[in-house]
Amino acid sequence: MQLLNETHNVNLKSWVTSANGCADFPIQNLPFAIIKRKGQDEPWRGGVAIGKYVIDMAKLAKLDLFTDEAQQGAVAAAESSLNNLMGLGSKVHSALRLALSKALTQGATLESRLSSALIPLSDIEFDMPCRIGDFTDFYTSIHHATAIGKLFRPDNPLLPNYKWVPIGYHGRSSTIGISGQKFHRPKGQTKLPDATKPTMGPSKRLDYELEMGIFIGSGTKMGDIISIKDAQQHIFGVCLLNDWSARDIQAWEYQPLGPFLAKNFASTISPWIVTLEALAPYRCAFSRNSDDPQPLEYLSSADNSEYGGLDIQLEVLIETEAMRGAGIDACKLSSSNFNYSYWTAAQLVTHHSSNGCAMRPGDLLGSGTQSGPTYSEAGSLIELSCGGKTPIELSNGEKRTFLEDGDSIIMRASCQQKGAAPIGFGQVVSTVLPSK
């Protein structure tokens, strides 16, 4: 499979000058979102980020600048959700990306016409990028799985199936929100170790989870199976995902069927979807330690081994209510990398469809918490606070074991590679409100 093309050229410059040297949205990125101008009574439609601007895809589609698959993609991107664009498949996505890149390149003849479709990034607001019909959350960080296992099952932290099969559960799509989401602290049943019966009330151990979200592009019919060799063609792109967790509710309810009310009250995604093609320069090799079992044949391919991983740098910050009031910058909690995943995105897609489960455009797969091998790379508070036993001191002197009302969690992601232009995902921000 050819990964790199002219859209990845590190030397490309745009006539949108703010894109040149832009950390998140240079011409080599071109991520998609659903946007409208702030405070305006106008339809939601697709947008593409370029520097400090957004291309209004509804206006671009009406200009009829492109041809064939590229124009077909532009028309689909002008709709109020990206589902139809996602479902058109990688050939159309690639054609639209190439046409946008050429039209935005310094010296392009379309500059005078395309410039009329630009809106300042500061003037827009976001909606959900697509209708998420189904949400499956996986468990791809062996470091996180081991750390959580030690807390919940000290004698048997990593269950024997973990190294053989991508573990996941079906989540709740109705409570997924876009960055800026504010949600009320969940209530649920909890039981203290020495209590004779559980109690019902607000969670006292509310946590975040640093994840990546993988959006399905072209779908399949029930009974169809996606081969590991074809899985990349069924991925539209990737976003940031904060999958909130109530650890005290989780500890009481998760056996024998796994996550339920501890996980389905809120999840937050970043507004920008970075396409899989844009991530091509940051692909990396996937391999297993020789002591671990190697993936079964249906989860193995030469391409997946050569470049199935994704080198995406991740970080988490916290902004407390006191910090906001005092004008203090958010405090960094940890950093990690998506390339620590025990399973690749292609393996998740392949395994999900391996029993004939139908996949639909806009379906969201969560990676699970992306923790690294060291303490500073933990992707959740339950790891950083050692299960709530060791408070974390923040930059303003406050302490946290778990989240308090008014806390905001900020997650960011970026890619940097020698010989490639740095790109970013923007950020996902969400805030905890008091329980109702």
Q: Which of 92-106, 147-161, 364-378 has the lowest mean pLDDT?
A: 147-161
Give residue 1's pLDDT.
Answer: 61
Domain definitions of the chain by residue range: 6-127, 135-433
> What rounded mean pLDDT belongs to the chain?
97
Work out the percent of the chain whose per-residue pLDDT is above 90: 95
Q: 60 to each of 90, 95, 116, 302, 411, how far by Cα in Å?
A: 20, 15, 9, 39, 31
Q: Is 239 helix (H, G, I), strand (E, B) or coil?
A: strand
Mean pLDDT of 131-152: 94
The residue that leads in pLDDT, 238 or 160, is 238
Q: Decide if pLDDT at 296 tops 90.
A: yes
Give residue 188's pLDDT.
Answer: 97
- Supply 128's token pair: 């959900």
Q: Decide if pLDDT at 32 tops 90.
A: yes
Active site residue ranges? 144
Q: Which residues of 12-36 are buried (b: 16+ CB within 10 A; e: fewer)?
A: bbbbbeebeebebbbbbbbbbbbbb
Q: Is 268 helix (H, G, I), strand (E, B) or coil?
A: strand
Q: Which helix (H) or strand (E) holds 211?
A: strand 210-216
Burial class (CB in 10 A: 0-12, 13-18, 19+), 436: exposed
The topology under which CATH files domain 135-433 is Fumarylacetoacetate hydrolase; domain 2 (3.90.850)
C-alpha to C-alpha distance for 20 and 34, rounded to whole angstroms: 23
Q: Decide if pLDDT at 341 tops 90.
A: yes
Residue 408 has a CB neighbour count (10 Å cut-off) of 19
Mean pLDDT of 235-249: 98
105, 332 Cβ separation under 8 angstroms:
no
Q: Decide if pLDDT at 156 tops 90.
A: no
Work out the percent of the chain whose per-residue pLDDT is above 70: 100
* Tokens 């050429």 -> residue: 102
Q: Decide if pLDDT at 77 tops 90.
A: yes
Mean pLDDT of 112-130: 98
- Supply 153's token pair: 């099952």
242, 268 Cβ separation under 8 angstroms:
yes
- Supply 227's token pair: 């081969």
Give residue 100's pLDDT.
Answer: 98
Q: What is the pLDDT of residues 314-337, one digit of tens each?
A: 999 999 999 999 999 999 999 999
C-alpha to C-alpha distance for 182 and 177, rounded to whole angstroms: 9
Q: Decide if pLDDT at 84 tops 80.
A: yes
Class of domain 6-127: mainly beta
* Tokens 């407390």 -> residue: 320
C-alpha to C-alpha distance for 75 and 84, rounded to whole angstroms: 10
Q: What is the pLDDT of residues 397-408, one digit of tens each?
A: 999 999 999 999
Query: What are residue 268's phi and psi, to 5 degrees?
Result: -130, 135
Residue 239 makes CB contacts below 8 A (sequence gap 6+) with 129, 212, 213, 215, 269, 270, 271, 272, 273, 274, 425, 428
Give residue 280's pLDDT.
Answer: 98
C-alpha to C-alpha distance for 89 and 343, rounded to whole angstroms: 23
**Strand bridging mode 45-50 / 53-56:** antiparallel
- Supply 130's token pair: 């697509």
Crossing angle of helices 90-104 and 68-77, rounded to 10°? 90
Give residue 152's pLDDT.
Answer: 79
346, 310 Cβ separation under 8 angstroms:
no
Give residue 270's pLDDT.
Answer: 98
